[in-house]
Amino acid sequence: MIRTLFRFISPHKVALSWATLLGVLTVASNIGLLATSGFLIASAALRPSTVLLLWVPIVGVRFFGIARAVFRYGERYFSHDLTFRILANIRAWFYDRLEPLAPARLFNLQSGDVLSSVVSDVDTLQDFYLRSIAPTLIAFLVMAIVYWLLSLFDYRLGLLQVLILLVSGIGIPALTYGLGNRLGSEIVTTRSGFSAELVDSLQGMSDILAFSQEQKVIESLSNRQHMLVKKQMKMAGIGGLTGGLMTFFNHFSMWILLLVAIPLVQVGKINGVDLTVIAQTALASFEAIIPLPLAFQYLGKSFASMRHLMTIVDAKPSVSSGEVKMEGKMLSALVIDHLSFRYHSGDPEVLKDLSFTVAPGAHIAIVGPSGAGKSSMVQILSKFFDYESGTVRLGENELRKIQMESVHEHIAVAPQQSHLFNTSVKENLQLANPFASIDMIQTACAVALADTFVEKLPEKYDTFVGEQGYKLSGGERQRLAIARAIIADAPISIFDEPTSGLDAMTEEQLLLSVHQTLEGKSMLWITHRLTGLEVMDEIIVMNHGMIEERGTHQELLQKNGLYRKMWDTQQLMIGATEMAV
């Protein structure tokens, strides 16, 4: 894991060296400034015959004064640049590892929360260098400089100061960790519990108000927050202690160095002039140590984030990529033969011994109550999951052995949950074919009954749809997903519950329109609503992962089976449309 963390940094060795070097020089310049200014006034106090004798410290003071600012500028510049480069590396690495796993291995991650936490983990790691590595490197390099500087007077002073720096640089963060680690994780849990209760209460506010429970909920939230605040207060005490100890050791090092140095002045081992230099050096050198408690805290956070990311990408891809490449877009039969499937071994089978054929050019509907296995079948036909027994053949070839890219060229899918990206309508549709002209796009939208509402958008096809297309209604998003599948212009098209957000009349129109457009191509229309299915060549009724019955609309109505039952229930419904508000 640590090796992976460093791998993000290692391509940028030059930038890394510059940033670290400049960081060291920034701290060193401050030591230089304070030490030379001390030396300057001490030498001046001896009243040399001419000012010229003070020329060196005067230049030194000015030099360090300017150098400090310039070095700081350079350090900030290089380290920010480096941070951005590292971030790009981490993103690319994570995406590269994640992409082969999608979507089969990522099903439990689909919830927005998990993915947002992934993004914030990546954001945490970008500062791994800036906040953890750099301060640690700088601290050690500055210690070396401090040792060298103090040894000019007496090596014991150097040793003593480095010892104090080490003890505070390691001891104080360790103490903070020991005192605050458990409390820290308690705070994290309490906070996320509070946040979850808040979200739950806001989402369920209608029910809370309707049952007059608002007082109770507000009180419960308030109590939970109070628990959190009490813990945070304790944590504040520990944080303050860290700062206080750091200040103490900072000045204590100066105190003890003087205590050692003054007898050395007495015996003539050190010049009295140098006492100011020693005191100032001791005071200034702590600048390198002060960021360390935070650096260690950050290190812990980075490791936690990295561990989280690793658990996600360490899974093995669930689909073997086939070798067979199918050139061109040939219209061929899709044959499903004795197909059985389960998501995990040990789980119940969601598809049981399923057999049917989509002949070239056939339009087939698959219906059934929710949980019948319709969507699982779409997952398999998208080559998102491997099947264990039975065969699925696309033309001559077994689906398992065909390259994923070829499968997607031959089978276009409008999935139930289609993602719209935060870009224009046009670019969202061009995802299916980057070279699609605006004419093609408009035609496809007309087929999907999406043209009317797109034309009403402020910038028509160039309108941005917002995050996950939130500027559009559910029904509008679905129609764009259908248009997208039509633009893909594949020999076989699959529409998975494409109309659940639409009213019955629009649904019927849509089905007819798509049905006419895809004349001569194969189509699978998956739905739980039995509207307009008269035009389909065959209707397959699924229940509990099996085919319950099949036939045309008329045949099925006469069979008096599940289809008839669903049909009758539907007759008793009126105007089921998407939610108004």
Partner 1 sequence: MISKRIFAQIQEVRHLLALTVGLGLAGGLVAILEANFLSRIVNRAFLEDSALSSLTGLFVWLLIAIALRAIVGWFSEVLALRVALKVKESLRDQLIRKLFQLGPMYLRGERTGEVTSTVMEGIESLEVYLARYIPQIALSALIPLMILVFVIPNDWVTAIIFVVTWPLIPYFMMLIGRQAEKKSKKQFQTLSLLSAHFLDVLQGLSTLKLFNRSRYQLQVIQRISNQYRKTTMSTLRVAFISALALELLTTLSTAIVAVFIGLRLIAGTLHFQDAFFVLLLAPEFYLPIRLLGTQFHAGMNGVMAADRIFELLDEPTFQEGEVSSVKFTLNEDWDHLYFEHVVHQYPGTGTMALDDLNLTIHRGEKVALVGPTGAGKSTIMNLLLGFMAPAHGTIRVDDQSLSPALAAAWRKQITYLPQHPHLFKGTIADNLRMANPECTDKQMMEAAKNAGADEFIREMSAGYETVIGENGLGLSGGQIQRIALARAFLKNSPLIMLDEPTANLDPESEMWIEHALNQLFADKTVLVIAHRLGTISRMDRILVLNEGKVIDQGPHSELVARKGLYHHMLTAYVGERGNYRDQNPVSIHLPS
Exposed, middle or buried: residue 311 (CB in 10 Å: 0-12, 13-18, 19+)?
Answer: exposed
How many residues contact partner 1, by CB under 8 A?
A: 164
**302, 124 Cβ separation under 8 angstroms:** yes
Among 11, 244, 300, 348, binds partner 1 (CB under 8 A): 244
**373, 356 Cβ separation under 8 angstroms:** no
Determine if 108 is a binding residue for partner 1 (CB under 8 A): no
Spell out, one character per residue from 192 to 221, where the chain touches partner 1: x when CB under 8 A holds, - when not: --xxxxxxxxxxxxxxxxxxxxxxxxx--x
Binding to partner 1 in span 279-298, by CB under 8 A: 279
**272 vs 281: CA distance, rounded Å:** 15
Binding to partner 1 in span 417-436, by CB under 8 A: 418-422, 431-432
Determine if 455 is a binding residue for partner 1 (CB under 8 A): no
Contacts of 54 (CB under 8 A, 6+ apart): 40, 43, 44, 48
CA 502 vs CA 280, 511, 579: distances in Å = 76, 12, 10
| Residue among 72 and 308 whose Cβ is closer to partner 1 | 72
Among 254, 313, 354, 445, binds partner 1 (CB under 8 A): 254
End-to-end CA distance of the chain, in Å?
48
| Residue among 226 and 338 whose Cβ is closer to partner 1 | 226
Determine if 325 is a binding residue for partner 1 (CB under 8 A): no
**283, 251 Cβ separation under 8 angstroms:** yes
| Residue among 2 and 580 whose Cβ is closer to partner 1 | 580
| Residue among 140 and 251 whose Cβ is closer to partner 1 | 251
Among 17, 266, 320, 355, binds partner 1 (CB under 8 A): 266
Exposed, middle or buried: residue 502 (CB in 10 Å: 0-12, 13-18, 19+)?
Answer: buried
Determine if 24 is a binding residue for partner 1 (CB under 8 A): no
**514, 502 Cβ separation under 8 angstroms:** no
Q: In what order do the strands lie in the sheet with 334-341?
A: 351-358, 334-341, 389-394, 397-398
Work out how close the CB of 473 gets to partner 1 at its nearest, in angstroms, rounded to a whole number.
8
Determine if 33 is a binding residue for partner 1 (CB under 8 A): yes
Work out how close the CB of 63 gets to partner 1 at its nearest, in angstroms, rounded to a whole number.
9
Determine if 441 is a binding residue for partner 1 (CB under 8 A): no
Q: Which helix (H) or strand (E) holds 510?
A: helix 504-517
Determine if 224 is a binding residue for partner 1 (CB under 8 A): no
Residue 552: both structure tokens together: 């045309």
Spell out, one character per residue from 355 to 374, where the chain touches partner 1: x when CB under 8 A holds, - when not: --------------xx----
| Residue among 462 and 467 whose Cβ is closer to partner 1 | 467
Contacts of 425 (CB under 8 A, 6+ apart): 454, 457, 460, 461, 462, 463, 465, 480
Among 16, 31, 122, 448, binds partner 1 (CB under 8 A): 122
Work out how close the CB of 82 gets to partner 1 at its nearest, in angstroms, rounded to a whole number.
10
Binding to partner 1 in span 73-102, by CB under 8 A: 73, 76-77, 80-81, 84-85, 87-88, 91-92, 95-96, 98-99, 102
Determine if 23 is a binding residue for partner 1 (CB under 8 A): no
Binding to partner 1 in span 166-185, by CB under 8 A: none
Helix (H, G, I), strand (E, B) or coil at 529: coil
Determine if 252 is a binding residue for partner 1 (CB under 8 A): yes
